[in-house]
Structure 1
Amino acid sequence: MTDDETAPRETPGAQPAPEPAGAVFTPLVNRRYLRELARYRMLLSGGEQVPGERAAVLVRWWETLDEVVAAHHRAMVEVVWALLRERDPEAGTVVATMNTRYELLGAARAEAGAALTGFLLGGAPPSSARLAFIRYHEEMSATAFWEEREIISRARRLFTAADWQRVESYVLAVQAAGDRLEQVLPWLCEGLSSDQAARVLEALPPFLRETYLVVWLPAHRQFTSRAWPRRPAPGSPA
């Protein structure tokens, strides 16, 4: 019997198996975070002072994002790195490089955050924060791209469904331990398809699903509208 005869055959019209939620979640954190960085960067490029109430909201959201991305990197180090080493003996060099990148990002994030806060709450000109923020945004973009290409692509080849479940559970547990899940979950699910979001929510206990729909999601939408209000379309009433 030939290899072609023993190879699994695709069923006509069969749908590919849905990607595990953990495989979706992990790169999604970076993508959503980069979207937020782009918003802050655009704010700084506008050169206008931000009203006090919105400025306070933006600083609070930045501080939350700072904690979210730090916790995400912790989850990557403690779970994804460990699983990669188990599955791929040659992953050590890649992991070491990512650790170095994370350390550099931590310092750049702290510098950008201090400069951003100085602009929003301290009355400093936006030019004082713009350079540090642009530098951090570019470094984060490069690291996220490298992480997805070198880490996530390997994980997709090597991890089992149980591995991805472990990653997803750990990511959510780390955020929950910091009392951030009510901000993180609606923020992430905004970037998912309806099917993907449904699979994530199905993994939650029923009482948490109800809390998400009734409390967390409306609160997140209200918070987002305060942080990033939509500008009226040209010609529309003010």
Structure 2
Amino acid sequence: MNVAKKNKLLFMVGAVYLVLLVAMPDKAARSSENSTYYVIEMLQIMPVIFILTSLIEAWVPREAITNSFGENSGVKGTLFSFVLGSFSAGPIYAAFPVCKMLLKKGASVSNIVVILSAWAVIKIPMLANEAKFLGPKFMLIRWVLTTISIFAMAYIISKAVNKESLVGIEDKKESESSALAIKHQYCIGCGLCEKLSPNTFIISDKKAKIIVGNVKIEDLNNIENINKAVEKCPAKAIYFKA
């Protein structure tokens, strides 16, 4: 049952193919040919993407991702995200594991939206072909309007979507293993913890969050600051055990 729940979409597609095979064998055969083509394409591309994301995850420090694409990266982070998406190669589905890895390493939701959107609709090679077949004026106007829409969409989605719901259990386990946790349902976003221990806490989307990787047991000053934040938190939303 668990396998079926985790792969609902796959089972639904399989059921549709079975219905087509019985009711419309010709269309089922054409659908199978198209599906086989895309599966082969994915098998050629995705192993390279998985290797690339694994290398980035292993070798690129979390701080580098946070500074370049994180919540506090500001305009610089948005521009970096836009350039990364615009100069990317490969189909859009190749962007999803890359963006999942960036989220785990500290990238913000808004910058992930910018990367995905730029990857999908304004890649540089695509713009060159668009100008060739539809004219430079058409390409430029569409590019400007699309870019404005991407930034607006990134802002809206970052306000509507909770990052923890995207990253899921993996980041929760990481925070639990550090013996430092925030009960977000109680946090009021006052910012006191960030002032007392800026190397450990950050306020994002009106909630306190942990900067994973900066909690070092041997750093007595840091532990003292964390304990102060735990003690003075008005909502008692911080848990810490050294």
* TM-score, with length taken from structure 1: 0.26
Greater share of residues in helix: 1
Between structures 1 and 2, the one with greater strand share: 2
Q: Whose Rg is larger?
A: 2
